[in-house]
Amino acid sequence: MKSIILGLKRHPLRFFASIFLAYSALWTVTESIAFFYPDLQLKGLYVHLVFIIASIVIGIIRVYQPRRVSIKVNTSDTTLNIYYGDIFKQVGYIVISVNEFFDSELGDPVSEHSLHGMVIKQYFGGHPESFDSAIQKDLKDQCFEQIERDRGNLKKYPIGTTAKIIANEHKFLLFALSHTNIETFKASSDLSTMLTALHGLFSRSRDCTGGEKLNIPLIGSGISGVGLPATQLLQLIVLAIIDETKKKQICKEINLVIHESRFDEVDLETIKRQWV
């Protein structure tokens, strides 16, 4: 019902035009049949009601908003699926954006309502030590800058640095997307920073996914968002994926998983029409 109602709001002219065209087509076909076969009873109230109901159904189908679309990346065998769902219920590697310090303390450094905070809370029991240990083990050969702070981790990694961690059979790729104010703990990002971060994420993904699916949320829409509307943000991510795939394949199947709360904001029909 949400898909139908949203479609009616977005495309009212298409809805009524579809009804008119469908009714006209049905009327033309019926009149033609009645002309050649006059013995058939194709008149009356019930026939008229069938015309109206069928026309309305066709109109609804024409404006129905899809909940899932797939895009085949040209010159590759990669398929990009975009749909609504829970990022933590996906199979394969789950991408999570973090700040450049890979902070682990819930509260001011990491909001427990962010995807970053949910990973620490749900898959590491809210314990910073175990999260830090997993990060340090994977990034042991990665360069960093030592920064003195009152709270939070002290190792500052370049934007795009990506850590692969496994927790309770869940596989995560955590990548540095945002800069952090060391006094206020406010994380922030912008368009150029996000593109740099995505490049680092996809470079690491090529090496460690091993053919498994890559599941990506609507990056940049959270607390440290880049300030773009959801649809434009999604278009940017799709463009980055296609561009990186054409350079060198990331993996065969990539899922862009959008939270249900964004349903009214994102027009998947428009996204698919632009890329197919």
Q: Is the pLDDT score of 4 beyond 90?
A: no
pLDDT tier for residue 41 given thresholds of 50, 70 and 90:
low
Q: Where are the domains of the chain?
A: 2-63, 68-275
Structure tokens at 230: 């959801």
Q: Quick one: pLDDT at residue 2?
A: 82
Supply the pTM of this predicted model. 0.85
Structure tokens at 77: 């065998």
User: What digits encode the pLDDT tens for the residues 150-198?
Assistant: 888 999 999 999 999 998 889 999 999 999 988 888 888 999 999 999 9
Q: What φ, ψ does residue 164 adopt, rounded to 5°? A: -100, 120
CATH topology of domain 68-275: Leucine Aminopeptidase, subunit E; domain 1 (3.40.220)
